């Protein structure tokens, strides 16, 4: 240990903004975190971390008495809260022995896994499962980055990245986009770096169009706000497409030469004239026309979304319509638009890092839900990659492209044993009791397992149901080398700022070490040649002709100059070689090749019968600082800033139900009820309420029935995950559709 201050340059991963920071420590203990001012344009591109409550809570995160520091084994009944501390090696021995037994008895497919938001190194969980023979990994991807990535891959042959910092060039500080259309996104809370970029762009004259059922802080910057009915993004976008085509406000040259299916899109879009769509969406026809004109006349325009559209019942259709709009704007792989970087220069293609070839076709075919929801599963992945390989010479990472088991189907298999039993499950930096839809079903599923293993920072409500809980190294305790799962050719690196183990104090391990430990015990030794992530990263970085240390010494980033319009020399990696407005991939998989609108399963229109009892539309999933999904609830500074879960209700509606601003209110759907504090919000339609997601209360007891208050204010008690109501193409579950009622919590029921 060193008594001197040690400073390491790293990248904060409390959220996805990737702020470059310096971790200052003494004797292995965190002293403070400062911005890394060596990064060019850090003042414009990266938000000021001094405003960030998450990073302010870093010391508490590291030293919190509830942080998991040693492996724990359940000694009482599941959920009884009785744990025994055991050594890492013993815990891994026991888990490996149990997994081996389950595999022998039920097959490798009986072992599943779920991950969280991708801020670690999941590829090695995938490697472990492939070597084991299981196709059943999943997680939050279907409602996170997954749909946008798979749809882009299907239509364009690669994922798109906002290489330019959206409105301004990351390194040059010049305006590169004339118009930004934000769809279902509130970057002021969700993406601080993006928010900063938009504010900077606004000063330089960028036009901002917002499509969001709520007025948020973004509204202050918007030139036009389309406040649509939740779940109606697809018809709204189709109507804008219709106007653009009608007015000829599109890039004819790009469309004629490089797009497939324009006439069919035009025909489909004609079914969505603004007057008709105004009735569906609640957006006046003149505003739809105005949006189309603003978007079409200010080229290049850029569309930014995430995750509003990803939470729709027809996420894949809405996202397809969004890419059609970009294509009409001529901004696919063009400056100021949807940049398609192509594969990274790092090592780590799926066949060498995730070992995709080790999973046999017979095991792939067993992936749960992949017979029905094919796009984000093996059928879609194999089809898409056959074109990717030809054009790019390399596949997109399996984790990056997202090839998931369908989580609602996986949970049902745990409970029913159909179509086959699922007996063991890992959750890795993820808390499905709070973050997956239909908590009651997830609870039943986790309780039914023979073996449930958690690798996490905390004993979350999910971890409380586990058999073994392993402590995980956080971003400050591990190095990082990031190319967005090999989707991007921008590369970020970070040193470990703190040790992952301090003898006698804590023993955290990375996901790599965790799965390597299990893999070696299960006969996979020759496939785990690197002892730790440092060695993995030396192997990955070799093609850049440098070592990890040299790379860090030179700044720890590699941003090659953009290489636009690659399609002119190589075509698009799609079946037609073009940008597919009409998706032949969707068609080959048996789906409608064009976006279309179908009223969602539970709305004021589709269920007027239910609406008599549940007269309001429920939406959830909107981000709010300082929490990040289900994290940070135990960090005092974060809880002081945001102590209670909030339901946002229009004051008119609240008055109708006698709910004052600050009152506790019940929110009830046909699936259950929770209570939250009411926040009056003028900028939400009186027919809509928004409930915050991710709430649990670490301060409440962990044993059942409390499970840290998981039934109190958890939005997913209200949501539906029935496969029949999931997105037909990729299987995502709807978080922006559903009916609810609200009523005041009576004094004797009140929390405070």
Question: According to CB under 6 A, which one of 8, 9, 10, 15 is a site residue for ligand SF4?
Answer: 15
Three-state DSSP at 534 gives helix
Q: Which is nearer to ligand SF4, 458 or 586 (CB)?
A: 458
* Rounded distance between C-alpha atoms, residue 700 and residue 359, angstroms: 42
Report the alpha-carbon distance of residue 414 to residue 512 in Å, rounded: 26
Q: Which is nearer to ligand SF4, 53 or 407 (CB)?
A: 53
| Chain centroid to CA 93 | 33
Write each residue from 131 to 160 as x if it is in contact with ligand SF4 (CB under 6 A), else as -, in one continuous string: ------------------------------
Helix, strand, coil fractions of the chain, as percent rounded to 5: 35, 15, 45
- Sheet of 491-494, strand order: 480-482, 491-494, 557-558
What are 162's two structure tokens?
Answer: 């906002």
The conformation of residue 352, written as its DSSP 8-state character, comes to T
Q: Which range touches ligand SF4 (CB under 6 A), out of 10-18, 176-184, 513-521, 689-697?
A: 10-18
Using the contact rule CB under 6 A, the part of the chain among 12-20, 197-205, 301-309, 705-713 near ligand SF4 is: 12-20
Q: Candidates 16-24, 101-109, 264-272, 357-365 — which segment interacts with ligand SF4 by CB under 6 A?
A: 16-24
- Which C-beta is closer to ligand SF4: that of 21 or that of 95? 21
Q: Which residues of 202-213 are buried (b: 16+ CB within 10 A; e: fewer)?
A: beeebbbbbbbb
**Closer CB to ligand SF4, 18 or 633, in the complex:** 18
Minimum CB–partner distance for residue 134 and ligand SF4 (Å): 33
For ligand SF4, which is the closer residue by CB, 58 or 108?
58
- The answer to whether the CB of 611 falls within 8 A of the CB of 604 is yes
Residue 189 backbone phi and psi in degrees, to 5: -105, -30
* Shortest reach from residue 49's CB to ligand SF4, in Å: 4
CA atoms of 453 and 640, how far apart (whole Å)? 32
Spacing of C-alpha 481 from chain mean position: 19
Residues 311 and 691: beta-carbon distance below 8 Å: no
Measured distance CA(461)–CA(459) in Å, rounded: 7
Tokens representing residue 324 in the block: 């059609």
Taking the C-alpha atoms of residue 26 and residue 39, their distance in angstroms, rounded to an integer, is 24
- Which of 47-55, 369-377, 481-489, 646-654 is the region at the interface with ligand SF4 (rule: CB under 6 A)? 47-55
Q: How far is the CB of 627 from ligand SF4 (least distance, A)?
A: 11
- Determine which residue in the list 10, 14, 123, 584 makes contact with ligand SF4, applying CB under 6 A: 14
Measured from the CB atom, the residue of 192 and 734 that comes closer to ligand SF4 is: 192
Stretch that binds ligand SF4, among 8-16, 298-306, 476-484, 632-640 (CB under 6 A): 8-16
CB of 14 to ligand SF4, least distance (A): 3
Q: Nearest approach, Cβ of 26 to ligand SF4 (angstroms)?
A: 21
Output the CA–CA distances (angstroms, integers) from residue 426 to 69, 192, 452, 592, 724, in the order listed. Answer: 18, 31, 6, 35, 26
Joined together, the tokens standing for residue 687 give: 């027919």
Is residue 12 within the footprint of ligand SF4 (CB under 6 A)?
yes
Our CB check for ligand SF4 shows the closer of 617 and 635 to be 635
Scan residues 599-618 and list those touching ligand SF4 (CB under 6 A). none
* Tokens (6 digits) for 434: 């709070």
Buried b (16+ CB within 10 A) or exposed e, 644-675: bbbbbbbbebbeebebeeebbbbbbbebbebb
Identify which of 203, 226, 214, 235 has the alpha carbon closest to the alpha carbon of residue 295.
Answer: 226
54/214 with CB nearer ligand SF4: 54
Whether the CB-CB separation of 584 and 593 falls below 8 Å is answered with yes
If binding is defined by CB under 6 A, does position 638 make contact with ligand SF4? no
Residue ranges in 294-353 that form contacts with ligand SF4 under rule CB under 6 A: none
Site map (CB under 6 A) of ligand SF4, residues 49-78, x = contact: x--x-xx-----------------------
- 39 forms part of the interface with ligand SF4 (CB under 6 A): no
Q: How many Cβ atoms from other residues are within 10 Å of residue 444's Cβ?
A: 14
Three-class SS of residue 227? coil
Contact 445, 130 (CB under 8 A): no
Check residue 395 and report its DSSP letter.
Answer: P
Residues numbered 496-525 forming contacts with ligand SF4, rule: CB under 6 A: none
- We find the least distance from the C-beta atom of residue 307 to ligand SF4, in angstroms, to be 16
Contact present, 251 and 565 (Cβ < 8 Å): no
Please say which residue, 49 or 149, places its beta carbon nearer to ligand SF4. 49
Least gap, CB of 297 to ligand SF4 (angstroms): 34
- CA–CA separation, 125 and 107 (whole Å): 18
Least separation in angstroms between residue 165's CB and ligand SF4 is 14
- The neighbour count for residue 699, using CB atoms within 10 Å, is 11
Quick one: 119 or 381, whose CB is closer to ligand SF4?
Answer: 119
Cβ of residue 667: shortest distance to ligand SF4, in angstroms? 28
Q: Compute the distance between CA of residue 661 and CA of residue 663 in angstroms, rounded to an integer.
A: 6
In the complex, the smallest distance separating the C-beta of residue 11 from ligand SF4, rounded to whole angstroms, is 7
Choose between 492 and 582: whose C-beta lies nearer to ligand SF4: 492
Nearest approach in angstroms of CB 9 to ligand SF4 is 14
CA atoms within 13 A on the CB side of 559: 13
Q: CB of 482: closest distance to ligand SF4 in angstroms? A: 12
Nearer Cβ to ligand SF4, position 57 or 732? 57
Residue 476 as a binder of ligand SF4 (CB under 6 A): the answer is: no
**Residues 170-209 vs ligand SF4: string with x where CB under 6 A?**
----------------------x-----------------
Q: Is 19 in the site for ligand SF4 (CB under 6 A)?
A: yes
* Nearer to ligand SF4 (CB atom), residue 120 or residue 153: 120
**Binding residue for ligand SF4 (CB under 6 A) from 10, 47, 316, 691?**
47
14 vs 664 by CB, closer to ligand SF4: 14
Please report how close the Cβ of residue 633 comes to ligand SF4 at its closest, in angstroms.
Answer: 15
For the record, the structure tokens of 477 come out as 């305790």
Q: How far is the CB of 749 from ligand SF4 (least distance, A)?
A: 35
- CB 60, CB 45: distance < 8 Å: no
Q: How far apart are CA 559 and CA 570, in angstroms?
A: 22
Tell me which residue of 378, 374, 385 sits closest to 364, measured CA to CA: 378
Task: Count residues binding ligand SF4 (CB under 6 A).
Answer: 12
How far is Cα 112 from Cα 104, in angstroms, rounded to an integer?
A: 15
Task: Supply the minimum distance, in Å, between the C-beta of residue 191 and ligand SF4.
Answer: 8
Of 12 and 474, CB closest to ligand SF4: 12
Residues that bind ligand SF4 (CB under 6 A): 12, 14-15, 17-19, 47, 49, 52, 54-55, 192
């Amino acid at each position: 240990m060193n008594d001197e201050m040690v400073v390491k340059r790293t990248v904060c991963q409390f959220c996805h903004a990737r702020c470059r920071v310096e971790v200052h420590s003494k004797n292995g203990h965190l002293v403070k975190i400062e911005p890394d001012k060596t990064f060019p344009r850090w003042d414009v591109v990266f938000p000021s971390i001094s405003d960030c409550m998450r990073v302010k809570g870093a010391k508490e995160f590291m030293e919190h008495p509830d942080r998991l520091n040693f492996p724990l084994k359940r000694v009482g009944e599941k959920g009884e809260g009785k744990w025994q501390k055991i050594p890492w090696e013993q815990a891994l021995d026991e888990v490996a022995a149990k997994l081996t037994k389950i595999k022998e008895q039920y097959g490798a497919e009986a072992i599943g896994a779920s991950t969280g938001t991708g801020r670690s190194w999941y590829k090695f969980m995938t490697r472990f499962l492939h070597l084991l023979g299981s196709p059943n990994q999943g997680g939050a991807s279907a409602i996170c980055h997954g749909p946008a990535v798979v749809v882009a891959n299907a239509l364009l042959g690669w994922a798109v990245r906002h290489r330019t910092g959206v409105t301004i060039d990351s390194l040059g500080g010049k305006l590169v986009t004339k118009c930004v259309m934000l769809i279902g996104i509130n970057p002021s809370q969700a993406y601080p770096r993006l928010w900063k970029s938009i504010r900077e762009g606004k000063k330089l004259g960028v036009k901002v169009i917002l499509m969001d059922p709520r007025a948020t802080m973004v509204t202050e910057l918007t030139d036009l706000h389309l406040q649509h009915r939740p779940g109606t993004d697809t018809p709204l976008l189709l109507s804008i497409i219709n106007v653009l085509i009608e007015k000829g406000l599109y890039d004819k040259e790009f469309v004629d030469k490089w797009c497939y299916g324009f006439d069919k899109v035009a025909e489909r879009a004609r079914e969505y004239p603004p007057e008709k769509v105004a009735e569906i969406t609640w957006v006046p026809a003149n505003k739809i026309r105005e949006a189309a004109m603003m978007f079409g006349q200010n080229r290049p325009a850029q569309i930014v979304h995430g995750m509003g559209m990803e939470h729709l019942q027809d996420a894949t259709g809405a996202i397809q319509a969004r890419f059609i709009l970009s294509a009409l704007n001529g901004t696919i792989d063009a400056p100021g638009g949807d940049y398609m970087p192509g594969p990274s220069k790092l090592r780590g293609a799926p066949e060498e890092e995730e070992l995709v070839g080790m999973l046999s076709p017979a095991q792939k075919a067993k992936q749960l839900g992949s017979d029905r929801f094919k796009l984000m599963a093996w059928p879609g992945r194999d089809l898409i990659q056959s074109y990717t390989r030809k054009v790019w010479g390399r596949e997109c990472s399996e984790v990056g492209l997202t090839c998931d088991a369908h989580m609602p189907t996986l949970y049902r298999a745990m409970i029913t044993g159909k179509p086959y039993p699922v007996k063991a499950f890992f959750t890795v930096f993820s808390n499905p009791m709070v973050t997956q839809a239909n908590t009651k079903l997830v609870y039943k599923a986790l309780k039914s397992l023979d073996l449930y293993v958690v690798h996490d920072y905390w004993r979350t409500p999910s971890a409380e149901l586990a058999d073994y809980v392993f402590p995980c190294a956080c971003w400050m305790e591990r190095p990082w080398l990031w190319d967005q799962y090999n989707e991007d050719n921008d590369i970020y690196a970070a040193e470990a700022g703190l040790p992952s183990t301090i003898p006698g104090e804590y023993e955290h391990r990375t996901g790599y070490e965790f799965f390597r430990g299990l893999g070696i015990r299960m006969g996979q030794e020759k496939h785990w040649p690197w002892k730790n992530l440092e060695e993995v990263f030396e192997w990955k970085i070799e093609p850049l002709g440098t070592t990890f240390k040299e790379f860090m010494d030179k700044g720890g980033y590699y941003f090659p100059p953009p290489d636009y319009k690659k399609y002119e020399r190589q075509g698009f990696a799609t079946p037609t070689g073009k940008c597919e407005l009409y998706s032949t991939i969707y068609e080959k998989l048996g789906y409608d090749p064009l976006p279309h609108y179908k009223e969602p399963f539970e709305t004021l229109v589709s269920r007027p019968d239910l609406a008599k009892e549940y007269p309001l539309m429920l939406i959830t999933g909107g981000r709010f600082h300082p929490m990040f999904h289900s994290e940070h609830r135990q960090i005092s500074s974060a809880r002081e800033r945001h102590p209670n879960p909030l339901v946002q209700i229009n004051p008119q509606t609240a008055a109708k139900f006698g709910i004052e601003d600050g009152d506790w209110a019940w929110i009830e759907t046909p699936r259950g009820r929770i209570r939250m504090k009411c926040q009056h919000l003028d900028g939400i339609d009186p027919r809509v309420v928004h409930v915050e997601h991710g709430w649990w209360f670490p301060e409440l007891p962990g044993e059942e029935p409390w499970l840290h208050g998981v039934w109190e204010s958890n939005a997913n008690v209200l949501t539906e995950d029935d496969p029949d109501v999931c997105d037909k193409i990729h299987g995502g579950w709807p978080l922006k559709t559903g009916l609810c009622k609200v009523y005041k919590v009576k004094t004797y029921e009140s929390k405070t």
